[in-house]
Every structure is written in C-alpha cells, then in structure tokens.
C-alpha cells in the first residue's frame, strides 16, 4: 500500500529562519535530492521566490531534478493591502516559480490584521480572496496557511473562522492551522482542531512551532483530531525554538499509531538523512534527539545492559534498526561485564563470558575513570585498552610503543603586538631512527598535531588521510587552575569516513590533549594493521 501524503517538509523555508541555519543553493538541491530518494516525502517547500534571488533560482534548478512522486511547493504571502493581486510582485514571483502547488500565508488573528498589517478586517479578507483567486486563475493549486490561527480563534473565533471560509470559497484545497507563536497546549489544540474539522468541508492541516515545547505533541494530537497534513522541518529547525520535528514525528506516526506516512523500506534511512542535514547546516547532531540521536538507544548501567542484551524490549521502546540507528552501549564506572563483552564484540575481539580478561578490563577502566578519564565517547581509546589486554599485555601503551617512541615535546606560544603564534617541537623515534621536527599552528594542540603528523607520515603515509573533526575540553576536578582537565578528540578518516574518539586527562591541558592525539594516531595505525593484530590475539 503506498504511503499516505501526510508529511510536508518546510526545512528549506521555515527551517532556515532558525538562528544559525543557512543553506547555499547547492545545499538546498542536495537536501531535496536526498529527501526525495531516501524518504519520499510528498511535499517539499523549497523557499519563498519573492523574497530573494537564491530562492527564485532554487525553483528553476528543482525542475531539472527527478522528483518521482514528490512535489516542490513555493511559499509566499497574500498581496499587499494597497495593490491588486494582478500587480503584486510577490504573487507574480509565486506564479512564475513553476510549481503546481503554492502555499499562501494569510493573517487569521484580528490583532495581526489591525496592528501588523495596519489594515481593516474586511481588507484582510479581500487580500486573501483576491490572492488565492489570482493563483487559481494561473492554474495553481493552493494550500492556505492561516497564520496565528489559534491565537485568533481564542480571541475572535468568528473572524478566524471567516478567514478559513474566505480561503475555502476562493479555491484553497487545504486549510493549514498555524500555531505560529508556539504557545498552545495539546488539549487546547485537540479541542480546537476537532471543532474546526467539524465546521469546514475543506481538509485541514497543522503547522506548529515549539516555543512551549509542544510542537510535536500538538502536531500529533491535531492529526488524531482530524488534520490531514502535518507541516514540519527536519531536526526541528526553525525560528526561535523551532518547528515540529519530522524526524521524530514520522516514526511516531508509523510505529506508534500504525499510520503509513512513509514507505517501510525508506524509514530506515531516517537517521542518515537527519545527520546529513545537520552536516549541511554545519551543526553537530543532537545526541539526545529521539529515534536518531547517538544516545537515543544508549545504555550505561550494567543492569540495563545485561537486560537489553537478553531482550531489547526491557529498556528500548523500539528496535533502533527500524530507523537506521543502532544500540550504543556506554562503558563507564557504572559498567558491568555485559557491557565489556558487548563492546568487545563490536570491536571484533572474541571475549566470552567467564574470561578473566573481562574482569581485568573492567578494573582498568574503573581505575582510569577515577583518574579523570571517560570512555563514553572515546571508543578509540577504549579499543586500544581492550586489545592490549586481549593480547595478554597489561601495558595500555603497548601499541603506541610498537609504532613509535616519544622522546618529548615542547610548545612555545608568543603574543606580540596583537599577534599570537605557536610552535611545537617534537622528538620521536621510529624504527630506531630519531626525528626532531617542528611545526606552527593556530594554537598549541594544532601545532602539536601538525608536528606529530610531519614526523610520522614518512613511515606511515596513511596518517595524511586523517583529520581532527572535534575537540572538547572539560574540567572535571574543581581546584581552580590546578584542576584535572579531560580532553576528547574526534578524528575522521577522509578515505573511509570512519570516525573515532580518543581521550586524555591531566592537570595540564596540553598533556591531556597530547594523550588524546597520540591515541588517535595509534588507533589509525592499528586499524591499518588489523590483520597483524588479529594474528597476535589468536
């Protein structure tokens, strides 16, 4: 059975109104292609062609794409109060955007009509009727967004309903009720949507903002109350506190309510698409985002982990594979033997229950965490520890010593006449040869990274393919400037796209960073030589 045409994506228009959200023309095209190919969302609002040249160009480019059953929608507002629709430049831009469907926004709250538009209530109705009629005469289908509908409904119900009636009589085929200020509660939403649906013959949609934290709840309850379309954005992007998050809403509808809002084979792409859009927005994915976040199916306590490994229903509301996510077992001082065994299997280390090495690994991790380390986001460092012990070597620095030796390093920073410069000098030993190298950087960590890579790349060319993608610092023992500092580094292999985290902890932030960097390099070298590692461990 084909998916119902419920979902309406406005990431590229309403989502870009969020602080810090900006997409280039190429970004928008890539997002459209990804949403179409991987998810098949039926409606994608690509922008407001009357507002800027980039949005005008996106519609011309979109016509060249293979969209399948997806329809690109242009967005705009009703005509200016002092201009007829046939002369309104924004409406002309909408009509020439080349889309079959136009979403037209108009005022439905009397306060906005009189204060924001400085118009009379009758003028606003004329603007709505005239604008929709103009677009219909151009052969367009029209969805009408009733802006601030719920505020208007509670203060002047008769007028807000008159707005809907005017839009419907003018030819709008969908009346979208907008909680533009995002302040209404779910039960209020349910009551209002039910009342509206019972009074109008035209199908109703819902568009919610998240200012009170209820955008998804309101969209869900509005659908249950009779709304036929749900507008939202990927990852909840949008003005102020954002919009309904389609990434969360889609699996809720599909797996909790049994609503076929997206094809079965496509819903598994949800996590990848959500993270792809974060990447193009130059934002880190939210680890706590429901369904698709890194922590959405994370388990840290030993009792929880043990239970989940027996039956995931014990502590998971959904199989993470259904949305393309995965279970994430955290190893920490709270961990038990079950978590160690689970992580070992992830790393390809054949540890079994009852093996005394499990207890050894657990003991070392708990001691290291007492010293300030944390392995929840540092799988690279964790795997180095587990592999060294799996080889019956209790020296956690074994792999580092195998690949290279460190004689020492020095970092010098100068700030002269408003200009800061940093240089790192490193002495390393590789295969009985000693290298003394130096490099400049935009800070001490960058300088150390550059110098270390310069020294080692001659023997290990693959190190040229890795790059630091994240660097986090946290003070974990409060004692002023003498506090213990934890540094978490994330590294990416540019050829394989694999990422890994490594950890360092010390009173000196440079030393902590140095430890995390060394583990990152060693992890890469170990992965390059995993066949050797497997033979050694057998």
Most confident residue range from 146-150, 279-283, 499-503? 146-150
Packing angle between helix 530-537 and helix 509-528, nearest 10 degrees?
80
Tell me, what's the pLDDT at 482? 55
Over pLDDT 90: what percentage of the chain? 47
Task: Sketch out the chain's domains with CATH numbers.
Answer: 7-263 (3.20.20.70), 298-399 (no CATH), 405-537 (3.30.160.270)
User: Using CA atoms, how far apart are residues 156 and 352, in angstroms rounded to an integer?
Assistant: 69
Tell me, what's the pLDDT at 533? 39
Torsion sign, CA atoms 245, 250, 255, 256: positive
pTM flag (> 0.85):
no
Average pLDDT, stretch 374-384?
Answer: 81
Tokens of 386: 């587990």
Distance of CA 313 to the CA centre of its chain: 26
User: Using CA atoms, how far apart are residues 498 and 518, in angstroms rounded to an integer?
Assistant: 18
Which residues have C-beta within 8 Å of that of residue 425, sequence separation ≥ 6?
409, 410, 411, 412, 436, 437, 438, 451
The set of long-range contacts for 133-136, using a CB threshold of 8 Å and a minimum separation of 24, is 133/85, 133/170, 133/171, 134/79, 134/85, 134/86, 134/88, 134/91, 134/95, 135/91, 135/94, 135/95, 135/102, 135/104, 136/170, 136/171
In degrees rounded to 5, what are phi and psi of residue 334? -90, -5
Q: Token pair 């009170």 is at which residue? A: 212
Question: For residues 281 and 251, is the Cβ–Cβ distance under 8 A?
Answer: no
Question: For residues 520 and 489, is the Cβ–Cβ distance under 8 A?
Answer: yes
pLDDT value at 498 more than 70: yes
Instruction: Read off the DSSP letter of residue 11.
Output: T
Interval 111-138: pLDDT, tens: 999 999 999 999 999 999 999 999 999 9
Three-class SS state of 50: coil
Mean pLDDT lowest among 6-15, 383-392, 488-497: 383-392
Q: Count other C-beta atoms under 10 Å from residue 316's C-beta.
A: 16
107 closest CA partner among 49, 178, 26, 190:
178
Instruction: Read off the DSSP letter of residue 274.
Output: H
Interval 86-98: pLDDT, tens: 999 999 999 999 9
Burial 239-270 (b: 16+ CB within 10 A, else e): beebbbbbbbbbbbbbbeeebebbeeebbebb
103 closest CA partner among 71, 141, 66, 134:
141
Which of residues 188 and 385 earns the better pLDDT score? Answer: 188
What is the overall mean pLDDT for the chain?
A: 86
Tell me, what's the pLDDT at 535? 38
The helix (H) or strand (E) run that includes residue 384 is: helix 379-390
Instruction: Read off the DSSP letter of residue 245.
Output: B
Q: Could you tell me the end-to-end alpha-carbon distance of the chain, in angstroms, rounded to an integer? A: 51
């Amino acid at each position: 059975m084909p998916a119902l045409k419920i979902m309406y994506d406005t990431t590229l228009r309403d989502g870009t109104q969020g602080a810090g959200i900006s997409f280039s023309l190429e970004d928008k095209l890539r997002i459209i292609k990804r949403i179409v190919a991987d998810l098949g969302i039926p409606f994608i609002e690509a922008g407001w062609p009357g507002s800027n040249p980039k949005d005008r160009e996106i519609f011309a480019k979109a016509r060249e794409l293979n969209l399948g059953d997806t329809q690109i929608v242009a967005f705009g507002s009703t005509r200016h109060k002092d201009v007829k629709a046939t002369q309104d430049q924004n409406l002309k831009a909408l009509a020439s955007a080349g889309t079959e469907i136009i979403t037209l926004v108009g005022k439905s709250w009397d306060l906005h009509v009189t204060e924001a538009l400085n118009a009379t209530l009758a003028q606003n109705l004329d603007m709505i009727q005239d604008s929709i009629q103009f677009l219909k005469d151009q052969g367009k289908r029209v969805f009408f967004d009733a802006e601030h509908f719920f505020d208007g409904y509670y203060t002047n119900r008769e007028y807000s309903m008159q707005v809907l009636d005017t839009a419907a009589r003018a030819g709008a085929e969908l009346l979208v009720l907008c909680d533009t200020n995002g302040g209404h509660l779910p039960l209020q939403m349910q009551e209002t949507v039910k009342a509206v649906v019972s009074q109008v013959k035209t199908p109703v949609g819902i568009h919610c903002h998240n200012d009170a934290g209820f955008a998804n709840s309101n969209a869900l309850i509005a659908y249950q109350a009779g709304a036929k379309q749900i507008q939202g954005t990927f990852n909840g992007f949008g003005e102020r506190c954002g919009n309904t998050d389609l990434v969360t809403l889609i699996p809720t509808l599909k797996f909790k309510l049994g609503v076929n809002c997206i094809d079965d084979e496509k819903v598994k792409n949800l996590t990848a698409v959500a993270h792809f859009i974060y990447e193009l927005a130059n934002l880190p994915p939210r680890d706590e985002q429901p369904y698709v976040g890194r922590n959405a199916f994370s388990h840290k306590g030993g009792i929880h982990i043990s239970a989940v490994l027996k039956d995931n229903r014990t502590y998971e509301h959904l199989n993470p594979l259904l949305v393309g996510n995965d279970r994430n077992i955290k190893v920490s001082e709270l961990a038990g033997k079950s978590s160690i065994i689970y992580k070992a299997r992830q790393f390809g280390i054949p540890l079994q229950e009852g093996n005394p090495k499990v207890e050894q690994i657990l003991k070392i991790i708990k001691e290291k965490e007492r010293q300030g380390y944390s392995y929840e986001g540092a799988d690279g460092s964790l795997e180095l520890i587990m592999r060294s012990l799996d080889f019956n070597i209790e020296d956690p620095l074994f792999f580092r010593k195998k690949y290279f030796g460190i004689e020492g390093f020095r970092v010098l920073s100068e700030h002269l006449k408003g200009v800061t410069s940093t240089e790192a000098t490193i002495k390393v030993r590789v295969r009985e040869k000693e290298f003394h190298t130096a490099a400049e950087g935009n800070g001490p960590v960058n300088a150390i990274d550059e110098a270390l890579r310069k020294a080692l790349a001659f023997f290990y060319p693959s190190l040229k393919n890795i790059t630091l993608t994240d660097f986090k610092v946290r003070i974990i023992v409060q004692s002023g400037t003498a506090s213990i500092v934890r540094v978490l580094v994330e590294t990416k292999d540019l050829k394989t796209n694999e990422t890994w985290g490594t950890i360092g902890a010390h009173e000196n932030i440079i030393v902590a960073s140095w430890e995390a960097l060394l583990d990152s390099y060693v992890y890469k070298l170990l992965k390059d030589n995993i066949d050797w590692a497997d033979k050694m461990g057998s």
